[in-house]
Chain A
């Protein structure tokens, strides 16, 4: 059984090839201890792994670290190259060759290259590299059977002579070419493993490899149109300083209408109120009542206010499932179309002010789906300070999709002016926390350097598949927390502890926030899952001012148990506790100020 690894630059079609080869035997799994997802599947008798897209093997980012580990363990590497960006991709190809990996090259996206008038002499390329080269167009399934036939012909190729000679010095230390080359190039992880001092040859090696790549391009690629790789120098309307911002606003509005109105209001209205409350709940009630009395402990546990068979499925499937599915659909759309990096470019200058760069929009956008998942994705950021800033902002100021849905549902209650106030207050606090952290934290943030893939029309099938898979995972993660939360709440409520805690906290809510004391319960539940609390919002009779205060406080309130655990795991216990305590103070502080302001103005008693 061989370990086959797909490797290549981002956006070259690795996943499509992965799906073709593994068929239905795919499983998306989180790489142990990290987030950047890798897929593993079976291909005949071999294990096939998909890796994150990288431009080279080193430790510049989390993606590279993961890919490096998988490539080091690989028996065979299938290197996927985007034929339209042939020159860029060759660096990685040559690095794999230098590492002495058994490999074959898949020259993908041939259709796109042909369209641009690029012709690549793959026979000549094969000779220069010394490994099999197969031309494919994976998106249309062209020539993929050829690829699978050639898998057995994978071989080690022609290494860059000078690099091979230099790397030889490291062979006695590690015993294999792959690690020797990475040691030569001062890879942090391997230097630690073998306790080596940096040798300062990375750049020399990179330049040698880059120049060899350029030479290969000149020898194998011809371009019918112009010297510039067949690409016209066209301006990108999506990045136009004026139109680009407009298109972005339009896109955001479309997302809001889709998620906030269509999904949050109509779909959830149907699934939660009709499917769950009308159809499922009576069924469950009549069934469970045959076995135990509703007033008994077990009755409470199963079908009570926080019942395992009533509240849990109703929130989880009626409310959260449609929202999360909708969110991941949008995210996959942005990802696959190539728009996401363009959003990063447009947002860069704003994020610079709070010590982040454009790349941070990715965790931020993810945060609107699930703050917990987004916290893990802060790993894609380069420096520690960026990760700390983003984690804090996510935990404190970004409402997650479930919460957002309920908040959006209540916008009618708020009215236009208070909706704007809500957004402005959140933005202000977002900026304030970011600025303060940026000033206080030591070090320098990394700058934006991002590749812009071509915009392309995404394939609906892939998007749906991706969204379903991510949603499934989300639910699998959320279910235990939800169930445990429900059990805990029932126990607390039956034993009377809940009442005591509520009594203790309610002065804060009643006198501080000027809200009815029932709202205390929402906050208490919000500690378990924020959406959990927010979901109970519907039933309360609050006036406009009260709704604004309650929603704002709840948004800023402490992150849910799952996120706190994730911060604990990703960052540290200290940071998790600090963020939690700060969230508590911040939420009640802002809420109380607002309430005091309203009563001063005389709009609230």
Chain B
């Protein structure tokens, strides 16, 4: 699934980001494969507000569609 499908107060694990510059910027902020992301809020039709291990941030909806994530349960099972 992609990050925009996450629901409020759910925890997901980052799996893949396809866009190169975004991926590189995300690495700097501590978001790379395996990073846990907790959804603090979803603005309807707008950004997803996340808590990552190190900080809170907002990710635009279109960007979230490009971020592959797995639900924490599934990720742990693999």
Contacts and interface: CB of A to CB of B under 8 A. Distances in A.
A and B co-occur in one complex: yes
Interface of A: 55-56, 60, 85-88, 91-92, 202-203, 206-207, 210, 213-214, 228-229, 231, 233-236, 239-241, 244, 341, 344-346, 348-349, 352, 357-358, 447-452, 454
A87 B30 contact: yes
Interface string B49-78: 101011111111111000000000000000
A241 B60 contact: no
Nearest to A210: B27
A239 B56 CA distance: 12
A448 B40 contact: no
A363 B61 CA distance: 22
Contacts of A214: 30
Given A85-B55, A448-B60, A449-B63, A346 B43 contact: yes
Contacts of B42: 241
Contacts of A348: 43, 46-47, 58, 60-61
B24 A241 contact: no
A85 B45 CA distance: 29
Most chain A CB within a 10 A radius of its CB, from B32, B51, B59: B51
A450 B28 contact: no
Given A345-B49, A358-B58, A449-B57, A241 B44 contact: yes
Contacts of B58: 239, 341, 344-345, 348, 358, 448-450, 452
Contacts of A202: 24
Given A346-B46, A447-B22, A451-B57, 8 more contacts: A60-B25, A86-B54, A202-B24, A345-B49, A349-B44, A349-B61, A449-B26, A449-B63
A203 B54 contact: no
A236 B41 contact: yes
B38 interface: yes
Contacts of B44: 241, 349
B47 A207 contact: no
Contacts of A454: 56
A229 B30 CA distance: 13
A349 B45 contact: yes
15 contacts: A56-B28, A88-B54, A91-B30, A92-B28, A207-B32, A228-B53, A229-B53, A231-B51, A231-B56, A235-B9, A341-B58, A357-B60, A447-B60, A452-B49, A452-B57
Given A88-B30, A210-B28, A345-B47, A452 B56 contact: yes
Nearest to A203: B24
A349 B46 contact: yes
Contact of B55 (A88, A92, A234, A358): A88
Contacts of B53: 87, 228-229
Nearest to A9: B55
Contacts of B56: 231, 236, 451-452, 454
Interface size class of B (residues with CB under 8 A): 35 or more
A236 B40 contact: yes
Contacts of B62: 352, 447
B63 A447 contact: yes
A451 B29 CA distance: 9
B43 A241 contact: yes
Contacts of B25: 55, 60, 449
A233 B60 contact: no
Contacts of A60: 21, 25
B23 interface: yes
User: Which 3 pairs of residues, A with B, have the shortest CB-CB distance?
Assistant: A448-B60, A349-B46, A447-B63
A345 B38 contact: no
Contacts of A231: 51, 56
Nearest to A445: B62
A344 B59 CA distance: 11
Given A214-B30, A233-B40, A241-B41, A448 B54 contact: no
Q: Name the residue in B29, B56, B59 with the highest tally of chain A Cβ atoms < 10 Å from its Cβ.
A: B56
A482 B23 CA distance: 48
Nearest to A346: B43
B63 A203 contact: no
B59 to A, nearest CB: 6
Contacts of A448: 47, 58-60, 63
Contact of A239 (B9, B38, B41, B61): B41
Contacts of B20: 203
A210 to B, nearest CB: 5
Contacts of B45: 349
A229 B56 CA distance: 11
Nearest to B41: A239
